[in-house]
Structure 1
Amino acid sequence: MRELYALHGATTFSLLLRLLGDRPTAEDVQQQVFIEAWENADRYDPRRGTLAAWLLMIARSRAVDHLRRRVPEPRDPATAVVLADGAESGRVDELLEHWRVAAALDHPSPEEADVLRRRFYLDQSQTDIAEATGVPLGTVKTRMTRALRRMAELLKEER
């Protein structure tokens, strides 16, 4: 379980944080994701996708569940339907795209994936990444360029 979390914890947490917008909530849902993965490990089928994709699917499902529960219950039943539909429909495409990209983050080297996560999930500039990691700015730029090319190829093949 430690190895699974070490390999995929950052990816699932980044997705959850982005979807839920709240760190404590993302932490709670992250725990649910890994408990569910542990309890249902026998259901993972490597022929259907990568381990990361399976975990991200679980994360996405738990995030959607949480967002559905979070919709306040109005007095008018017609309004409740509109709110529930809007909570999901406006975010489904965004959720799926984040899931797809997060799964693709497992393919670059760990150094390249770290640079991409910092840039696109933590919104750090290349200079910020260089300062935070102690890696020269030129190396950060090279890693980012290589990783983006590799991910573009993977995502293109996926379509």
Structure 2
Amino acid sequence: MASTTTTKSDHEKPAFPVTANNLQDLLEYTSHASGHGLISKISLPSGSLFAPITAYTFTPTPQWHTLQVSTSSHISLDSAFTYLNHSCNPSLEIDTEKMEIRVARGKELREGDSLSFFYPSTEWKMDRGFKCLCGEKGCVGEVKGAEGMEKEGLEKWFVNGYIWELVEERDGKGN
């Protein structure tokens, strides 16, 4: 996941070649004021498999670049997927149970579209929050993870099962 703070190194070459996870035919890097992002090289209908997640390493703690995959586990995406940015109107969904990335429900992906996902769909409590700059209607404003969001607010996005478990636990319905 991309950093929201610009540093000199953000504008240098991305850490992973697009061949990691065999993504060379699916996406390419783009640069912007806050660092790197990804754009699609293909068009796909809503709900389609974009790519399986095959290149990753388990990490002991959440960090700005990790992805939560269960109530207590995180991975480092060892591919260009590390540079998927956040959006409140994402083009992709990350399903950590199936370890795959799909085109978001109700959206078609077009060649040249920015590749993004809704960070609270995988993250309960983020290493560091940031102000969302997506400008979409219904923007959450401050992105900190699902922990600080109401259940009703989360229901408009695809959210992984372990996030729903944590919501139920938080709201006193886990017993």
| TM-score, normalised relative to structure 2 | 0.25
Structure 1 or 2: more strand by fraction = 2
| TM-score, normalised relative to structure 1 | 0.27
Structure 1 or 2: more helix by fraction = 1
